[in-house]
Amino acid sequence: MKFLKLASLAVIGTAAAAGGIATATPALATDCIAPSDPGGGWDFTCRTIGRLLTETGVIDETVQTTNVSGGTGAVAFARVAGSRADDENLIVATSSVAITQIAQGKYPGGTDTMRWLAMLGADVGVLVVPADSPFQTLDDFLAAAKDNPSSMVVGGSSAAGGWDHLRLLMLAGEAGMEPDAYKSMRWVNFNSGSPAVTQMLGGQVQAVTTDIGEIGGFVQSGDIRILVAMSDEPIPAFPDAPTTASLGLEMTGYNWRGFYVGGDVSDEAYDGWVEKMKALYDTPEWKEAAQANGLIPIWRGGAEFSEYVDQQAADTEAVSREIGVIN
Amino acid sequence: MDTLAFLAQGFAVAMTPTNLLLALFGCIAGTMIGSLPGLGPVNGVAILIPLAFTLGLDPTSALILLSAVYYGAMYGGRISSIILNIPGDEPAIMTTLDGYPMAKKGKAAEALAISGVASFIGATVATLGLTLFAPLLAKAAIYFGPADYFALYVLAFATIGGVSGMNPMKTLLAACIGLMLATVGLDPSTGTARYTGGSYDLYDGFDPIVAIVGLFAISEMLMLFEGNLGATAIPSVGRVVPRMKDILFSLGATLRGSAVGFIAGILPGAGASLGAVMSYSVEKRVSDKNKTFGTGDPRGVAAPEAGNNAASGAALIPMLTLGVPGSGTTAVMLAMLISFNVQPGPLLFQNQPDIVWGLIASLYIANIVLLVLNIPFIGLFTRLLMLPQWVLMPFVLIVSFLGVFAISNSVHGLLVMIAFGVLGYVLRKMEISLIPVVLGVLLGGDMEDNLRRALSISGGDPWILVHSPISIGLYIATAALLVIAFVFAERSTPAPGTSHNVK
């Protein structure tokens, strides 16, 4: 495995050299697995945090990002559990989306398979409608949904039962809709948030639930309106948008970003990583990068974070069971 | 005019020595990466992102480097299509159809020259379109809904029938095999695993580029085992400098290909591969009067190359103005922009004009650099043809294995590649064209996604598929093309009793 990887690097190196410029390859001590193709949210987590870890001097060497995509993170999860469970130089990007998959039994193992390191920030789930939509407020939307749930067509960036869809259903449930009613709202999945919003602007769906980070530009330009942000605190970029807390609803729809390491990593190495992540979290560079990407910096690390992950998995499993995504 | 002033400002940004050097390096690296089977523009851009960060480039310079790689890879993909009959990347598939036959006739240099010029014209058309109409076109693309996309894919598949020049039933069979293979993986709308046999590695289905390398490169190797190992690939090399006459002959094809490719590129998700497919099939319908397509007609090389370059330029429009990537490569560029705190979307042209216009100016520069670079490259690449097959093919095989491993980071990817190689060998033995299989794997997933989306919107009511003027128009076009093909086939069918099954 290792020599193949080196060889592939060598080929790329040769291509670069053939192109007239040879690039020096720095020592690769830390590996960050992004369980998605280049360009996804997990890829961003690895690449940005990997870069900042070096730039801010938290670690000396550079962080190499490896994309291991497949099964919404299941392939990377299986690979780490199978062959790199004790690799102390390996961190894996993860988020709420992965916990949803675990809770629904779509990963090879439960949350206890890995050691959960920390979350460094969170994207906030929002319910948005086009600027010319008849729904001015969340109440308008809910009134229409209660009236005739099967006429509501909502889109987002996950499959039915995925995190974007679950957040919508949890919101509807919290606002007093019955499971039978909110289950009959139509759900349309798109590859990510921006296509969902563009298709909404083209009149294909009435509303979209997804993370604010990717679609903030459409709110700024006035093309779409936030009916509610599923958070306790107002979103820094759009402080005037109503939140679930300000509307008196007891639910949040964060999509946190963080890392796990293999299940057999020693306490010493685990604690060392938690410390390093905390050191990075405390830098202004991270705050700046997070904010620019629509993330709210939030810290949970070590044991506290592990408990949080377990709790989230249990909650998601309960909701999934209630709405019939799993039996 | 505002646009011109902005563009001039863009050139001022792009013409600094550093940025010009980056564009040059990007063009060379891109051409190399594009020409290696398995490695395409997505990998090229992904590989160079860390370099952009390591060098501490500002967003504009980084974007210039990456777009030069992107355009370069589009140019490079055609090289192995023509010389080895192995597409260098997905959009170069159609170029094998006439490019390789041209090389076999000793016209490899002409094929490379014509496709190089066609690439230049296609990319120029797209860059001009991007300069003049980007915000307008983005608004139009919004009204293309899932049902319309589905109709577009139906049109693409309906036209495949005429593309491969083989028995129509075998073409249909091949397309069905491709579409069936595309259903492996997680169900797009419910997340349920299909045909994965419990393997997490199959959750995302088959990566089209891995399938292509297997089908073309590995099966080629297997065919070689049957004999003929000592032969030189192609005896004569031909002229190295393109003749004006040849270029003028294929100019019409180039312009038509550019227009078709540009339209396909604007639509998010359709991208360069569809652009190349549509350009080739349109050109074949328009120009193939003497049945020369598929036997080394230069117009069959010019059209898809103009098409895929125009489409890849046009794919930048939805990326910049909507934040919606039109292809895998633009998805990577989008991610990089975001990590530089540049937010693509409706406000990008207003908020960060120097980045946008610097990028557009650098596309013009990259395009010219590529044309100039590619002419001397022709001599270099055609020299590869003088190597005996037993030297050349093992090298291709090594590059294929390394390339596939580099993109999939797993042994699983290699096994899939080998399996597709065996499939390709069997299909070739049965004289079934590989192109429809590849198109099925490549486009089948998006086609299904859009069908499922449309049906989710309507709550399962199939009438939504013919509900919009766009989809109705596309179905009419499909029907018209099929009727024309049918009438054409009737007329050119030889007297009854003669075999209809000639290759």
| Mean local confidence (pLDDT), B203-214 | 86
Place of tokens 């891995």: B210
Q: Is residue B274 part of a domain?
A: yes
For A:150-209, CB contacts with B below 8 A are 150, 153, 159-162, 186-191, 194-195, 198-199, 201-205
How far away is chain B from the Cα of A305, in angstroms, using its nearest Cα? Answer: 26
Does B268 fall in a domain? yes
What's the token pair of residue B284?
């074949």
Query: Which residues of B fall within a CB distance of 8 Å from A69?
Result: 204
| Most confident segment among A91-95, B30-34, B78-82, B150-154 | A91-95
Q: B246 is written with which tokens?
A: 């040849």
Chain B residues with CB under 8 Å of A150 CB are 459
Contacts of B399 in chain A (CB under 8 A): 11
Residue A122 forms beta bridges with which residues? Answer: A256, A296
Q: Do B203 and A74 touch (CB under 8 A)?
A: yes
Domain that holds residue B147: 2-492
pTM for this predicted structure = 0.81
Residue to mutate among A8, A67, A150, A168, with most B CBs inside 10 A, is A8
pLDDT digits (tens, 9 = 90+) for B89-122: 788 888 998 998 888 888 888 888 899 999 999 9
pLDDT digits (tens, 9 = 90+) for A138-168: 999 999 999 999 999 999 998 888 999 999 9
Identify which of A202, A196, A136, A116 has the alpha carbon closest to the alpha carbon of residue A162.
A196
pLDDT of B345: 73
Could you tell me which of A120, A40, A61 has the C-alpha nearest to residue B54?
Answer: A61
Taking the C-alpha atoms of residue B88 and residue B101, their distance in angstroms, rounded to an integer, is 17
Of B25, B143, B324, the CB nearest to A19: B25
Return the DSSP state at A27.
P
- Cα R_g (chain B), whole angstroms: 22
CB B391 within 8 A of CB B355: no
Q: What is the identity of the amino acid at A205?
A: V
For A285, other C-beta atoms within 10 Å of its C-beta total: 13
More confident site: B492 or B458: B458
How far is B466 from A183, CA to CA, in rounded Å? Answer: 27
Q: Is residue B82 part of a domain?
A: yes
Residue B483 is predicted with a pLDDT of 78
Helices and strands: H and E segment counts in chain A: 12, 10
Which residue did the predictor score with more confidence, B175 or B190?
B175
Q: Which is it for strands A62-67 and A28-34: parallel, antiparallel or unpaired?
A: parallel
Q: Which residues of B touch A187 (CB under 8 A)?
A: 189, 456
What confidence score (pLDDT) does residue B354 get? 80
> Model confidence at B452, in pLDDT bands (50, 70, 90)?
very high
pLDDT at res. B106: 81
Which chain A residues touch B345 with a CB distance below 8 Å?
194, 215-218, 220-221
CA A283 centroid distance within chain: 22
Q: Which of A200, A204, A219 is best to mutate for the B interface (most B CBs within 10 A)? A: A204
For residue A303 the two structure tokens come to 């044991």
Closest alpha carbon within chain A to B184: A71
- State whether B402 and A8 contact (CB < 8 Å): yes
HSE toward the beta carbon, residue A211, CA cutoff 13 A: 24
pLDDT for B436 beyond 60:
yes
Contact B32 A19 (CB under 8 A): yes
Count of the separate structural domains present in chain B: 1
- pLDDT (0 to 100) of residue B74: 83
Determine, for residues B29 and A205 on separate chains, whether the beta-carbon distance falls below 8 Å: no
Q: Is residue A326 within 8 angstroms of chain B, CB to CB?
A: no
The answer to whether the Cβ–Cβ distance between A204 and B146 falls below 8 Å is yes
Specify the pLDDT at position B502. 35
Chain B residues lying within 8 Å of A48, measured CB to CB: 339
Q: For B122-177, write each residue's pLDDT tens digit.
A: 999 999 998 888 877 777 778 888 999 899 888 888 776 665 556 778 888 888 99
Q: Is A221 on the interface with B (CB under 8 A)?
A: yes
Q: What is the spatial distance between Cα B74 and Cα B90, in angstroms, rounded to a whole number?
A: 10
Instruction: Give percent of chain A with pLDDT exceeding 70.
Output: 91
Question: Nearest CA to A196 among A211, A183, A177, A182?
Answer: A211
Mean pLDDT of B369-376: 85
What count of Cα atoms within 13 Å lies in the side-chain half-sphere of residue B40? 30
pLDDT band for B489, please (50, 70, 90 cuts): low
- Helix (H) or strand (E) run with residue A92 in it: strand A90-95
Contacts of B203 in chain A (CB under 8 A): 70-72, 74-75
Q: Distance (Å, rounded) from C-alpha B251 to C-alpha A162?
A: 50
Phi and psi (nearest 5°) for B112?
Answer: -65, -40
**Distance from the Cα of residue B172 to its chain's centroid:** 21
Query: Which of A 284-313 lie inside 8 A of B, CB atoms?
Result: 289, 292-293
Note whether A105 contacts B: Cβ–Cβ < 8 A: no
Give the pLDDT of residue B150: 92
Highest mean pLDDT of the ranges A20-24, B158-162, B227-231: B158-162
Tokens of A207: 């509303």
How high is the pLDDT of residue B242?
63
Predicted pLDDT of residue B165: 58
For B384-405, b/e burial (b = at least 16 CB within 10 A) is: bbeeebeebbeebbebbbbbbb
Residue A53 to chain B, least CA–CA distance (Å): 13
Taking CB atoms and an 8 Å cutoff, what residues of chain B touch A20? 25, 28
Asked, for residue B497, whether it belongs to a domain, the answer is no
Give the DSSP letter of residue A185: S
CA-based nearest residue in chain B for residue A108: B200
Mean pLDDT of all residues in A293-317: 92
Q: Which pair of tokens denotes residue A138?
A: 């969340």
Mean pLDDT, range A228-233, rounded to an integer: 94
Of the candidates B25, B191, B334, which has its C-beta nearest A162's C-beta?
A: B191
- Interatomic CA distance for residues B419 and B219, integer angstroms: 10
pLDDT higher at B345 or B441: B441
Average pLDDT, chain A: 87
Rounded to whole angstroms, the Cα distance separating B367 from B312 reads 12
In the structure, what pLDDT confidence band is assigned to residue A206 with cuts at 50, 70 and 90?
A: very high
| Cβ–Cβ gap A216/B144 under 8 Å | no
Least confident of A57-66, B48-57, B146-155, B430-439: B48-57
**B501 pLDDT above the threshold of 60:** no
A81 near B CB under 8 A: no
- Work out the mean pLDDT of chain B and round it to a whole number: 82
pLDDT tier at B237 (50, 70, 90 boundaries)?
low
- The alpha carbon of residue B328 is apart from the nearest alpha carbon of chain A, in Å, by 8
Kindly state the helix (H) or strand (E) to which residue B466 belongs, with its residue range: none
Within a domain: B500? no
Contacts of A39 in chain B (CB under 8 A): 325, 328, 331-332, 334-335
Best mutation target, B377, B456, B464, to test chain A (most A CBs within 10 A): B456
What structural domains and CATH numbers belong to chain A? 28-121+256-323 (3.40.190.150), 124-229 (3.40.190.10)
How far off is chain A from B168, nearest CA to CA, in Å? 34
How many angstroms separate the Cα of B108 from the Cα of each of A78, B28, B85, B269, B430? 47, 21, 11, 33, 27
d(CA A205, CA A199): 7
Residue B234's pLDDT is what? 54
> How near does any CA of chain B get to the CA of A27, in Å?
13
The winner for highest mean pLDDT among A199-208, B71-80, B215-224, B289-298 is: A199-208
Number of H helices, E strands in chain B: 22, 2
E strands present in B370-414: none
CB contact under 8 A, A67 and B46: yes
The pair of structure tokens assigned to A187 is: 């759900």
Nearest to B443 by CA among B42, B84, B32, B94: B94
Residue B66 has pLDDT above 80, yes or no: yes
Provide the phi-psi class of A216: left if phi over 0, else alpha when psi is between -120 and 50, else beta. Answer: alpha
Which helix (DSSP H) or strand (DSSP E) does residue A150 occupy?
Answer: none
Q: Please tell me the number of Cα atoms within 13 Å of B216 on its side-chain side.
A: 32
CA angle at residue A43 from A38 to A45, to 5 degrees? 160
pLDDT at site B225: 80
- Residue in A1, A9, A12, A132 to test binding to B, most B beta-carbons within 10 Å: A12
Q: In this predicted model, which residue has the larger pLDDT, B159 or B416?
A: B416
CB A130 within 8 A of CB A224: yes
Q: What is the pLDDT of residues A161-188, one digit of tens each?
A: 899 999 999 999 999 998 889 989 999 9
CB contact under 8 A, A71 and B411: no
What DSSP string describes A189-241? E-SSHHHHHHHHHTTS-SEEEEEHHHHHHHHHTTSEEEEEE-SSSPBTTBTTS
Is the per-residue pLDDT at A23 higher than 60? no
Host H or E run for residue A121: strand A114-130
A274 has pLDDT over 90: yes
Residue B238 predicted with pLDDT over 60: no
Q: What is the pLDDT of residue A305?
A: 96
What is the percent of chain A with per-residue pLDDT over 90, rounded to a whole number? 63
Contact B335 A44 (CB under 8 A): yes
Instruction: Give residue A230's pLDDT.
Output: 96
Distance of CA B396 to the CA centre of its chain: 20
Q: What is the mean pLDDT of residues B257-276?
A: 83
Q: How far B284 CA lies from chain A's nearest CA (Å)?
A: 33
